[in-house]
Chains A and B, each alone.
Chain A
Amino acid sequence: MIKVENVSKKFIKNKNKREKEEFYADKNITFEAKEGEIVGILGPNGAGKTTLLRMTAGILEPTEGTIEYDELNYKKNELEIKRSIAYLSGNTKLYDTLSTYELLKMCANMYGVPKEKIEKRIEEISKILNLDGFIHNKIAKLSTGQTQRANIARCLIHDPKYYILDEATTGLDIISSQIILDFIKDEKSKGKTILYSTHYMEEAENICDHVIMINKGVIIESGTPKEIKTRTKTTNLRDAFFQIIGGQNNEE
Chain B
Amino acid sequence: MKNNIFNILKKELRETFRDKKSLAMMLVIPLFIPLIVIGMSALFETQLDVEITDYNKIGFAYHLDDTERTIAASMDLNIKEGSEEEMKKLREEGEIYLYITKENNRYTIVSTDSESSTYARSLMQAYFESYKRVLQENYLDEENINPNDVLDIITVDLKQEATDDSYFASYMQNYAFLFIIMAITVSATYPSTDTTAGEKERGTLETLLTFPIKSKDIIIGKFLGVSISSIITGLISLLLAIGSLKIANGMFSIYEGINIGYSFASIVVAILIIITFSLFVSGLCIAIASKSKTFKEAQSALTPLNFITFFPGMIVFMIGVSPSTWLSLVPFLNYSIIFTDVLNGAIKYLDIFLMLASTIIYITVVLTYIIKAYKSEKVLF
Contacts and interface: CB of A to CB of B under 8 A. Distances in A.
Interface of A: 57-61, 78-80, 82-83, 85-87, 89, 91-98, 102, 106-107, 109-112, 154
Contacts of B209: 58-59
B7 A109 contact: yes
Nearest to B381: A11
Given A92-B203, A106-B7, A60 B377 contact: yes
Contacts of A89: 206
A111 B212 contact: yes
A92 B207 contact: yes
A98 B211 contact: no
Interface of B: 3-4, 7, 10-11, 14-15, 18-19, 202-204, 206-207, 209-214, 377, 380
Given A93-B202, A102-B14, 17 more contacts: A57-B210, A58-B210, A59-B206, A59-B380, A60-B377, A60-B380, A61-B377, A85-B210, A87-B207, A93-B203, A94-B207, A95-B11, A97-B14, A97-B18, A106-B10, A107-B211, A111-B211
Q: Chain B interface mostly helix, strand, loop or mixed?
A: helix
Contacts of B214: 79
B123 to A, nearest CB: 64
B212 A93 contact: no
Contact of B206 (A91, A95, A97, A109): A91
A91 B14 CA distance: 23
A61 B212 CA distance: 15
A107 B380 CA distance: 20
B159 to A, nearest CB: 62
A134 B210 CA distance: 25
Contacts of A91: 203, 206
B149 to A, nearest CB: 86
Contacts of B18: 97
Contact of B4 (A57, A95, A110, A154): A110
10 contacts: A59-B206, A59-B377, A79-B213, A82-B211, A93-B206, A97-B14, A102-B14, A106-B11, A110-B211, A154-B207
A79 B212 CA distance: 5
A57 B14 CA distance: 27
A110 B14 contact: no
A92 B208 CA distance: 10
Contact of A95 (B3, B15, B380): B15
Nearest to A108: B7
Contacts of B10: 106
Contacts of B204: 93-95
A58 B215 CA distance: 12
A62 to B, nearest CB: 11
Nearest to A86: B210
B5 to A, nearest CB: 11
A86 B214 CA distance: 17
A161 to B, nearest CB: 13
A96 B19 CA distance: 10
A3 to B, nearest CB: 20
Nearest to A84: B212
B14 A98 contact: yes
Given A97-B15, A102-B14, A92 B212 contact: no
Nearest to B375: A61
Given A92-B206, A110-B4, A82 B377 contact: no
B8 to A, nearest CB: 8
A110 B212 contact: yes
A34 to B, nearest CB: 22
A31 B339 CA distance: 62
